Structure 1
């Protein structure tokens, strides 16, 4: 059916499938944002995350890289907050405010990359286990159950202990130990999607396994994956801080967990300006991601939002 121009009376050219797809995506994005704005907690979390990300991106401009240098420390060790050092100094005389801003770069980077690895593994395993079923699903889900019952932090500590201390070790340790929850959620959603009639029609028309999983199943599980990603990032930031606090982080970079470890090693845990700012930053980022994740989950799952 073609559209008719009201001014000229001529029929407008039909839109291409690609243009229709873009238009549907725009409408979906607009509807998502309209519903997301009704969640005040989600908006608070989004605003806080935007602030942290902006500080992390502008850290070289705001404080410069010299703030991490021990030899160029401008103050005395463990100075209390003052007009020159708004959050005091650390055990080496470096300004805590600059270290806090610079630490956001490492902590957020690890959180995003570790969550991406975790969600990618969980999504791949969940979709394939839900699609192929049989012995493959049985074996892979038993492995998933084993990872679920094992303490995630213990597994991450074990990996970080045997591998070299670097940012990639932390990302790998978190990513390969936190995927089981995503895998189970995605598998359940895959089973629900593949029970729908259009999947049978796709198979009848000759659609192969890859076609069905990538063209039909994956788009339908992506909303769930998006909501799960925001929650996994929160967990990844907390895990990275824990590993750094235990001395398993990268010693060459500045992170919030590393600042807490330095305070403990220096016996300065009673200096509130040394302990409280990085601890509050970790808690606020984790809370912000959780609030965003819950809001996204409510928007994408109307039944969940109605039950709250």
Structure 2
């Protein structure tokens, strides 16, 4: 009786609803597999806490706590203690306050730059894998050019030419980090388009847009998501590097800016170790958390890694 009912429901369900139902079930199965990864869950919980702290920064640490004119009585270079949990900087500002506000900028830049990189890489990768001949060859030559080009140097040049600011860093990181994603997506696109159901779609009259958006894009999205989590960690490092080199907005708090301020006052050689270690460890832990999440997602997408 149950089998007959399920068969009747399947036969009456439209293909669109059935496809969405299967995708929702696949997402649920993927999350259950992800929850079995201890390292992935540790990284995810840590990232959720950091994101919540960054969002609640104006509530936890109001902006007036960064106003130097209201901190005249605060000690400069105070070491970590009960009164100053992470110590103070060269202007008497609490380091934990700067870290909270810096997390907002660092994470926003990382997520925005990664989104830009993933969009460019996915579009060009699918186009290079789908279109053969001159178009595909030209796109791959462009990808190869960006792969061999030193991304940090190009990002520094873009940040120098454009006006300094958060948007400039996002553009610089996004433009210089999409090539590796494009190669991965192209390889997956070639693999998908070699399958029989793609050939059947073309025989039935499916055009380029139908094949790309109905078949190729859903197939490459899990791989893109896995690559995204790994790319965010690299974007955090890139943002911190550019800000450390003085190419960020000096009026915005970020972890790279805090490191630059510590270098400007020679904190490492003057005994103000907390001024260097706190932002450095924060960057290390966030990048490690993104890496753990990315590896867990990659093991779900790649059955070979899962079996190992």
Fold agreement, TM-score > 0.5: yes
Question: 2:55 maps to which residue?
Answer: 57
Greater share of helix residues, 1 or 2? 2
Aligned partners of 1:250, 1:214: CA distance in 2, in Å? 39
SS class of match (2:176)? coil
Aligned partners of 1:255, 1:133: CA distance in 2, in Å? 44
Q: Normalising to structure 2: TM-score of the pair?
A: 0.93
Aligned length: 303
1:170 Cα deviation (Å)? Answer: 0.2
Question: 1:90 maps to which residue?
Answer: 89
SS class of match (1:176)? helix
Q: In the TM superposition, what whole-angstrom CA distance separates every residue of 1:211-241 from its partner, at most 9, and x where no partner exists?
A: 1111110000001100000011010000000
Aligned partners of 2:214, 2:245: CA distance in 1, in Å? 44
Question: 2:64 maps to which residue?
Answer: 66
Question: 1:128 maps to which residue?
Answer: 127
CA contact (8 A) 1:68 1:254 kept: no
Q: In the TM superposition, what whole-angstrom CA distance separates every residue of 1:112-140 from its partner, at most 9, and x where no partner exists?
A: 00000001100010000111111111111
1:19 Cα deviation (Å)? Answer: 4.0
**Hey, which bits of structure 1, 4+ residues long, moved more than 6 A?**
none
Question: 1:285 maps to which residue?
Answer: 286
Aligned partners of 1:127, 1:173: CA distance in 2, in Å? 23
- The answer for unaligned runs of 5 or more in structure 1 is none
Question: 1:149 maps to which residue?
Answer: 148
RMSD: 1.9
Q: Normalising to structure 1: TM-score of the pair?
A: 0.93
1:16 Cα deviation (Å)? Answer: 4.1
Aligned partners of 2:172, 2:95: CA distance in 1, in Å? 28
- Higher deviation after alignment, 129-138 or 76-85: 76-85
Question: 1:227 maps to which residue?
Answer: 226
- The answer for unaligned runs of 5 or more in structure 2 is none
Aligned partners of 2:117, 2:229: CA distance in 1, in Å? 12
Question: 1:29 maps to which residue?
Answer: 27
Q: Does residue 42 of structure 2 align to residue 44 of structure 1? A: yes
1:246 Cα deviation (Å)? Answer: 0.6
Q: In the TM superposition, what whole-angstrom CA distance separates every residue of 1:116-174 from its partner, at most 9, and x where no partner exists?
A: 00011000100001111111111111121121112211111111111111100000000
